[in-house]
Structures are given as structure tokens and as C-alpha cells.
Structure 1
Amino acid sequence: YTNIYVGKPSVEEDYVVQDITPQQCRLRDMTYAAPITVDIEYTKGKDIIVRKGKNGVGAFTIGRMPIMLRCDRCVLKNKNEEQLAALGECPLDPGGYFVVKGTEKVILIQEQLSKNRIIIDKDSNDQYMASVTSSTTERKSKTNLVMKKGRLSLRHNAFQDDINIVVVMKAMGIESDQELVQLVGQDPAYASLLAPTLEECQSLQLYTQQNALEWLGGKVKSSRQGFERRTRSRADEARDILANVIVCHVEVDRYNFTQKVVYLQCGPPQAGREVPREGESRGPV
């Protein structure tokens, strides 16, 4: 295409093109739309063929586009009250909408959070939290990492309560506290940030992956405890939720949680606070 044009609102009947008004479209159940025309240039053999229209109209029509009332292409543009009344329009109507098949339509703007990306925000207690809305072809779920009483917890509707993030990591196979802290970051401030969370996990006496899975299985909501729950152990139930429900967009192959652990470790510094560097403020940012 060399040029693209949007014409005046019109309708074609019996091969005759006529201008049309919004009121006529309302009464006749038609769409208030204008033709989209183009000039084209193409190659035929060794020749370059150019097809151009005339008087601001392209050579070919490629479609039609609904026209918003009172826009530059609308017949109501710059009309006075007397002219608007003659066209069957209210002078006080501000326009800004469309007429589609005789019905007035308004475009509504809808905000939607990004999927499969970590979003940092504040909760009702003015604490920073990290959240991610995971979306796959099979399911959609939201996982939050929050600071609760100085401890980092994972919040998900699959569980009855907020779950200590260290317990979640241990259930995924990170049994060493030192390894867990190193995954989050090398800065000593990270160890201080995780200290209360590690202490809570120790008070629960959860030291192995199996212990953590069994404890986690006891926190699964009762709505999930159906026939499958009676045929599977608590540990198996918890392992399945961690693999297929928590941040489900991160794939787990044969219960190898390495990629999911690496993904989750991005959350603690953000959910707790920004770890200060030398010369920077120690407050949250």
C-alpha cells in the first residue's frame, strides 16, 4: 500500500453509495462506518504497476471501520444546534461512542496485570509484597510472597494458612539453610532478612524434604481433600501442589524443582525490603 484513506460514513445499496447519519443507522439497525481505501503499487513481470484513486479516495476498498460520533470523520463534526436537530441528534450529546448494528456501543478501558511476571506492591498493612499471576493452557493461579510478623510467607488459596517460605523451599529439596540463603543473595543483609523465617522453620523441627512435605500436606485446604487425598499420602499431595499449582507457569520435570526454586528466590528481597547497599538508605523503596 502506498496510501491509506478513511472515507465518509456511507452505505452501499443496489450498487449505489450514499452518505449516512448516525440516526439513520439507529433506525435501520446498521453500523455507522466508513470505507477504508488504498492506493497500491505492485510488480508484474519487470513492470511496476501503480494504482491510485482520486479526490482523497483510494483505488481499492479493503474494508470498513466504525466511526466514532463527533470525531473528525463524523458528519456531526462542527454542526450547530439547528443542524444537529435536523440530523435527529441532541445538541447536548457529547458523542464519543459508536453505532453498531443499530446499537450504541462504548469502548471501556480495562486494566489487566501482566501474567507470569513478578509484581511488587504494598498490602493493606503498608508492607511490600511480591505476587505473580501464573497462567498456562491448563490453569491459572496467583501466588503471593508476603512479610508477616517479620517472617516471609507464601500465600496461595491451595493452603489453609500462609506458609513459611523456608518450609516451601525445603519441600522443594533445599534442605540446607546455608544453600537457601546463598540462593537468595550473597549480601549478609539477606541472611538478616531471612533469620526470623529460618528460626520459625527450626521451631517446627522440619529439617528434611520429607518432613516439610508431610507438614505442608496438612495445610492443604479441605476442598482438595477428596477421593485422591484418601488414596495418596500428605507428602504426595503437597508435592503435586508445589509442582503443578504454585507458580504453575514454571515447569517441573519429574519433581525436579530447581527452576522453580530459582524463580521463587527472586521474591524474598522484594517482599521483605530492598537490601541496602553502602551509602544508600536503609528504608524500603
Structure 2
Amino acid sequence: MEIDQLPDGDLFTHQRLRAGEQAAAEALLGANGKNLSDPIPTVEDKWQLLPAFLRVKGLVKQHIDSFNYFIEVDIKKIVKANELVTSDIDPRFYLKYTGIRVGRPERTDADAANRMITPHECRLRDLTYSAPVVVDIEYTRGKSRVIRKGVPIGRMPIMLRSSHCVLTGSNDEEMARMHECPLDPGGYFIVRGTEKVILVQEQMSKNRIIVNTDTKGFINAGVLSSTQELKSNTY
């Protein structure tokens, strides 16, 4: 995620979080008499960074940050890039998306008195922990221009502990009231009552020149060329 892609409010929050993470890392390393700018001479010293990384970043923070960026920034960019729909038959007709928002998780029952839903209830009732997606649109009807706000277009699964999750910001007492474990890091979805997680896979970059050093110290370059028809390695 590049900082210059974030809006002003998100940029301030991002910088504040980065500063907090750096301060926490410095505190952890300072206990051993080390600093973040110190060189790391041995493999044993590098392994000492792992507990500090897990305590500062955790195992799922990259998933949560990525999902938050998608529903708060990326989805708006996608709609902005495809905001105008025109008609080939009647050039006077158009439909324009002027905004999009992802709501909070809620029940879909028509007669529900309390609209808020928790992940625990979704697990018990085989439901999807999701939130409505609404858009603001502008279109023509005859010779008049019509503007509508908050038109629902679908639902989106919400990642647990993300910015739109009901668990975010809850203390231990509130978590217990919702039958959730305070130690649960989140970073996964609940789809039809089943917990789903996105697995991260590491693959060699395709169609890019990779420069590295072999076991004998020689520098070599290689590229994995890939198309729909064939794949080839060149060194």
C-alpha cells in the first residue's frame, strides 16, 4: 500500500499507526539493548526479530489492513473508474454512480427488531457475516434527471476484526457478551456458518527479470516467461 494513494484522513491514521508500531518495536528491542537501526550480523540475531514482529504486527494484520483499504478506498476507485453507463439506443439516457458505501453487518430477516448481528450468531444459524453495499446513483427518466441515495446493490462478507466488524473496539466484557474470545485475532470470514480464510501463496514473479547470486557467488539473471499457451525459463 502506497501512502500517496490514501485520502488525507486515512493518511493521518496510517502515519499514526506506523509511528505506534515503530515505537512498540523500539521498546521491544530496547529491552535487549538494541536499536532498530543497528546492523543484524548473524542469523541468530535475525531470529530474535520474529517475536518482536509477532507482538507488533501479529499474524493477520496484513489481511485486515488489506480488507480495510479495499472497502474504504479501493472499492470507491473501482466505481469511479466505471461510473458512467450509457445507452447505445438512446444517447440521452445515462446512469452514473456517484458514490458507494459498505455498511455494518446486519440481519436480513424482515421482521428482526434488532438489526445488528454477531459472528457467533452467524456460526450458529449457518449465516454469512455480511454487510449491505449501497450506491448513490444519478440517471435520466424522460427529460428529467433523477438522483437516488443509498440504493442497495448487494452484500459483502465482512472480515472479522476489520473496521466494519462489530467486534472492533470491543473490550473483554463486550466480547464475552457476544460469545467471542478476546484472543481471537480475526482476519477471516464466516460464510454460511463456516469460517473461511484467504491463504497467502508465494509464487515466482512472471515476465520479470530476477537477478540473484548462486552458491558459487556468481551473479545471474533469469526470467520466467508465461503466456496462456506456454511457459519457459530463460537464464
User: Normalised by the shorter chain, which TM-score bucket?
Assistant: 0.5 to 0.7
Q: Which residue of 2 aligns with 1:20?
A: 117
Partner of 1:70: 161
1:123 Cα deviation after fit: 1.9
Among 222, 226, 229, the residue aligned to 1:131: 222
Distance 1:84 1:93 in 2: 10
Distance verdict in 2 for CA 1:47–1:126, change over 3 Å: farther
Query: Is 2:212 aligned against 1:82?
Result: no
Count of equivalent residues: 138
User: Matches of 2:218 and 2:179 in 1, distance apart?
Assistant: 56
Matched, 1:11 2:11: no
Shift of 1:51: 0.8
> SS in structure 2 opposite 1:114?
coil
TM-score for the superposition, normalised by structure 2? 0.53
Cα distance, 1:137–1:70 mapped onto 2, change above 3 Å:
closer
Superposed displacement of residue 14, structure 1: 4.8
What do you get for the CA RMSD once the two structures are aligned? 2.1
Q: Percent identity?
A: 59
Q: How does 1:35-50 map to 2 (within 5 A)?
A: 35-50=132-147
Deviates more, 1:5-14 or 1:23-32: 5-14
One of 32, 36, 54 as aligned partner of 2:129: 32
C-alpha displacement at 1:90, in angstroms? 0.8
Report whether the alignment pairs 1:101 with 2:198. no
Q: Specify the code of the residue in structure 2 equivalent to 1:125.
A: K
- Structure 1 unaligned spans of 5+: 53-57, 145-285
User: What is the distance in 2 between the residues matched to 1:46 and 1:128?
Assistant: 68
CA deviation string 1:14-73 (max 9, x = no partner): 575832110111122221110100111112333221112xxxxx1x11121111112221
Equivalent position of 2:51 in the other structure:
none
- Distance in 2 between the 1:30 and 1:63 partners? 15
Q: Which runs of 5+ in 2 are unaligned?
A: 1-96
Q: Which structure has the greater CA radius of gyration? A: 1
The C-alpha deviation readout for 1:137-164, integer Å capped at 9, x for no partner, is: 33323232xxxxxxxxxxxxxxxxxxxx
- The CA distance in 1 between the partners of 2:126 and 2:141, in whole Å, is 43
Measured against aligned partners, the alpha-carbon deviations of 1:221-257 in whole angstroms (never above 9, x if no partner) come to: xxxxxxxxxxxxxxxxxxxxxxxxxxxxxxxxxxxxx
Match of 1:112 in 2: 203
Q: Distance in 2 between matches of 1:11 and 1:126?
A: 61
The AA in structure 2 aligned to 1:128 is I
Report the CA distance shift for 1:126/1:100 in structure 2 as closer, same or farther (over 3 A).
farther
SS in 2 for 1:10: coil
CA shift at 1:95, angstroms? 1.8
